[in-house]
């Protein structure tokens, strides 16, 4: 069987995706979600001309050096001055307070000398200085946050200032995970003969959650066709947006995932990708559910989830799905590559001059978890690459915890 190129596999996955519907969520729950419609201001911010400093609201024409002005009142936030500043007059004013009628500048308190109800100007004022004009942040009708934005805490702060109690966002993709393997046991279990600890879910769940998915782990299913069929049917009956299986995706006598999925009516779009690690990767569909059959080896499972499942999670939310590769210099040589696209485990480091470089792991074993634990990015190496020397630029996929 010919191996499918990574680019073709990704295109097939993305063509199968329809953006999820929207829902309204309270502002406190909006961070990390994707805005589904423009958030438009319903008022101007600030709603009035206000002071950017503590000082005095003045008429610029009165503010020659050594001029003396009478203080006729005070304008404070929440308690504005109702009168009018006339020639030879000023008001005490505090940051955020409305500019009184007649005033056209705010002079800083450090630039005057006050004695009783009068001030002496020590530095001439300029027209409009230290005034925040109405609407200079946003105006009534402005789009304050655009549709398709993944909301950061700073976006949500802006939404709060624009008086939004809630926002309309894309629904979070629902992901269900199932691990297969007679040899697998959960962490904390005393190991019996021929058993290994199941670790994939502990990486996949937070990885996909970091991109906005709600992930449900269905645990470990034994390598027995009827048991596996019942478990996968139950998972598909819940109609998640994505079903992920780990293990049982190869061609061994006890690799039952592919035939069982086909018995359940799953249409497999492809099986086996020209990627390293993770060649025995399956992708298919059952109704509106996307199915990813990931390899069982932890490095392969997490690498293929990053390369193939993460773009699907992003696309379901209406985000740009393609990986945002950054180009960084290698800290070490990269050996010649074969016919499969290679995603090397890698670690970002800094030179003595603080330049960022990427250190590609020399480990290639897809079960080598120690090398995975230090990985905060993947270095992409194209098929048949003749190798790269230290210092050459390479394409890098940054992971959510990079540089943290």
Q: Where in the chain is the domain with CATH 3.90.105.10?
A: 22-45+147-170
pLDDT at position 254, please?
63
Say how many Å lie between the first and final Cα of the chain, rounded: 42
Query: Which has the closest alpha carbon to 379: 401, 353, 357?
Result: 357
Average pLDDT over the chain reads 94
Summarize pLDDT for 373-390 with one digit per residue, the tens. Answer: 899 999 999 999 999 999
The three state secondary structure string of 100-167 is CECCCEEEEHHHEEEECCEEEECCCCCCCCCEECCCCCECCCCEEECCCCECCHHHHHHHHHCCCCEE
Summarize pLDDT for 134-148 with one digit per residue, the tens. Answer: 999 999 999 999 999
pLDDT at position 256, please?
86
Contact partners, residue 320, CB within 8 Å, separation at least 6: 314
Four-way CATH pick for 22-45+147-170: 3.90.105.10, 1.10.132.20, 1.20.1640.10, 3.40.1280.10: 3.90.105.10
- Average pLDDT, integer, range 122-126: 95
pLDDT grade for 269, boundaries at 50, 70 and 90: very high
Q: Which residue has the tokens 């409305």?
A: 98
pLDDT at position 104, please?
97
Q: Where in the chain is the domain with CATH 2.40.340.10?
A: 326-398
- Average pLDDT, integer, range 203-219: 96
| Residue 278 Cα distances to 3, 181, 199, 267, angstroms | 12, 17, 16, 21
What homologous superfamily does CATH list for 326-398?
MoeA, C-terminal, domain IV (2.40.340.10)
pLDDT at position 98, please?
97
pLDDT at position 255, please?
73
What homologous superfamily does CATH list for 67-131?
Molybdopterin biosynthesis moea protein, domain 3. (2.170.190.11)
Indicate whether this model's pTM tops 0.95.
no
pLDDT at position 251, please?
56
**How many whole angstroms separate alpha carbon 102 and alpha carbon 104?**
7
CATH annotation of 6-20+171-316:
3.40.980.10
DSSP states of 298-366: HHHHHHHIIIIIHHHHHHHTT---S---EEEEBSS-B----SSEEEEEEEEEE-TT--EEEEE-S---T
Q: Where in the chain is the domain with CATH 2.170.190.11?
A: 67-131
Summarize pLDDT for 63-99 with one digit per residue, the tens. Answer: 999 999 999 999 999 999 999 999 999 999 999 999 9
- Average pLDDT, integer, range 308-334: 95
pLDDT at position 1, please?
55
- Average pLDDT, integer, range 212-221: 96
Residue 368 has pLDDT above 90, yes or no: no
Partners of 166 in the β-ladder: 26
pLDDT at position 322, please?
87
pLDDT at position 216, please?
97
pLDDT at position 252, please?
56
By CB neighbour count within 10 A (0-12 exposed, 13-18 middle, 19+ buried), where does 202 fall?
middle
């Amino acid at each position: 069987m010919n191996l499918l190129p990574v680019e073709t596999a990704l295109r097939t996955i993305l063509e199968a995706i329809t953006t999820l519907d929207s829902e309204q969520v309270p502002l406190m729950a909006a961070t990390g979600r994707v805005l589904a419609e423009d958030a438009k201001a319903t008022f101007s911010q600030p709603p009035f001309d206000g002071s950017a400093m503590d000082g005095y609201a003045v008429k610029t024409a009165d503010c020659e050096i050594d001029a003396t002005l009478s203080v006729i009142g005070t304008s404070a936030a929440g308690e504005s001055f109702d009168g009018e500043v006339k020639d030879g007059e000023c008001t005490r004013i505090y940051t955020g307070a409305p500019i009184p009628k007649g005033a056209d500048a705010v002079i800083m308190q450090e630039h005057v000398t006050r004695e009783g109800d009068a001030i002496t100007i020590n530095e001439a004022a300029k027209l409009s200085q230290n005034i925040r004009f109405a609407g200079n942040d946003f105006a009534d009708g402005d789009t304050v946050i655009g549709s398709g934005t993944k909301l950061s805490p700073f976006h949500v702060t802006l939404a709060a200032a624009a008086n939004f109690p809630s926002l309309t966002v894309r629904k979070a993709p629902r992901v269900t995970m199932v691990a297969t393997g007679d040899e697998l046991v959960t962490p904390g279990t005393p190991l019996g003969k021929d058993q290994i600890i199941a670790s994939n879910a502990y990486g996949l769940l937070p990885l996909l959650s970091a991109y906005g998915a709600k992930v449900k782990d269905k645990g470990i299913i034994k390598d027995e066709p009827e048991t596996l069929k019942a478990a996968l049917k139950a998972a598909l009956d819940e109609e998640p947006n994505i079903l992920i299986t780990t293990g049982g995706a190869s061609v061994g006598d006890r690799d039952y995932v592919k035939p069982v999925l086909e018995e359940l009516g799953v249409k497999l779009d492809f099986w086996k990708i020209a990627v390293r690690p993770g060649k025995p990767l399956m992708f298919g569909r059952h109704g509106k559910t996307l199915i990813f059959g990931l390899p069982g080896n932890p490095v392969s499972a997490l690498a293929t989830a990053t390369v193939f499942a993460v773009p699907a999670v992003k696309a379901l939310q209406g985000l740009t799905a393609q990986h945002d590769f950054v180009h960084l210099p290698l800290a070490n040589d990269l050996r010649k590559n074969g016919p499969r696209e290679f995603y090397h485990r890698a670690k970002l480091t800094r030179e003595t001059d603080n330049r960022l470089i990427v250190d590609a792991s020399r480990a290639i074993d897809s079960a080598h978890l120690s090398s995975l634990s230090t990985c905060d990015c993947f270095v992409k190496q194209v098929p048949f690459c003749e190798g790269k020397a230290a210092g050459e630029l390479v394409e890098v996929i940054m992971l959510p915890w990079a540089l943290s």
